[in-house]
Amino acid sequence: MKRNIIFGTAAFMMLATVCMWLTACGGAGSSGITVQIGVVENNTPTQLSATFREYSGAKTKDITVEAHQTLTIDYSLKSEDGSIVFNVAKDHETLFTAKASDSGAKTFTPSEKTIYTLALELSKATDGEFAITWSVD
């Protein structure tokens, strides 16, 4: 009897924790949920990268660049299916877009202090990888 009470209490606590987690993330099925299956990420102060079996979600990174410095971004995006979109924006205006299977480099040299936003959006992307690195010189 005591064992059933302990088991029931533990099950209730686990269920309550999951419900609170789903609520905090915006609820089941909302755009606040990220799906990651077979993901290995390597994120550093100057890099976002991952290999994955399935990935849906978004990542953003703001980078401040002083006047006359150069921001250099190297990118490589690969996915068998689904979509990967990488955007570089300034003041909510998209300056550059790359999509799955794109790779290359892009540089920006602002005339005044600027905050660039790197945004990576993955939608049902499967069997792929992405690598985005940047430097400010």
- Report pLDDT digits (tens) over 117-132: 999 999 888 889 999 9
Same domain, 64 and 118: yes
Q: What is the pLDDT of residue 18?
A: 45
DSSP label at residue 102: -
Give the mean pLDDT of 58-86: 94
Same domain, 60 and 27: no
Label residue 101 by pLDDT band (50, 70, 90).
confident
Give the chain's radius of gyration (CA, Å). 20
Q: Are 111 and 90 in contact (CB under 8 A)?
A: no
Same domain, 29 and 41: no
Place of tokens 């099925």: 29
Same domain, 11 and 72: no
Label residue 76 by pLDDT band (50, 70, 90).
very high
Label residue 87 by pLDDT band (50, 70, 90).
very high
| CA-based nearest residue to 134, from 110, 116, 122 | 116
Same domain, 130 and 111: yes
- Report pLDDT digits (tens) over 17-45: 544 443 344 333 334 556 777 788 888 99
Could you list the residue range(s) of the whole structural domain that residue 53 is in?
Answer: 35-136
Q: For residues 33 and 69, which has the higher predicted lDDT (pLDDT)?
A: 69
Same domain, 5 and 46: no
**CATH classification of the domain holding 83:** 2.60.120.380
User: C-alpha distances in angstroms, 19 versus 9, 35, 111?
Assistant: 15, 17, 49
Same domain, 8 and 56: no
**Number of independent structural domains in the chain:** 2
Q: What is the mean pLDDT of the chain?
A: 82
Half-sphere exposure (Cβ direction) of 92: Cα atoms closer than 13 Å: 0
pTM over 0.75: no
Same domain, 27 and 41: no
Same domain, 106 and 65: yes
Same domain, 21 and 59: no
**What single string gives the DSSP state of each residue in 20-66?**
HHHHHTT-TTSTT--EEES-EE--BTTEEEEEEEEEEEEEEEEEEE-
Q: What is the pLDDT of residue 127?
A: 84
Same domain, 82 and 58: yes
Give the mean pLDDT of 38-62: 89
Same domain, 78 and 128: yes
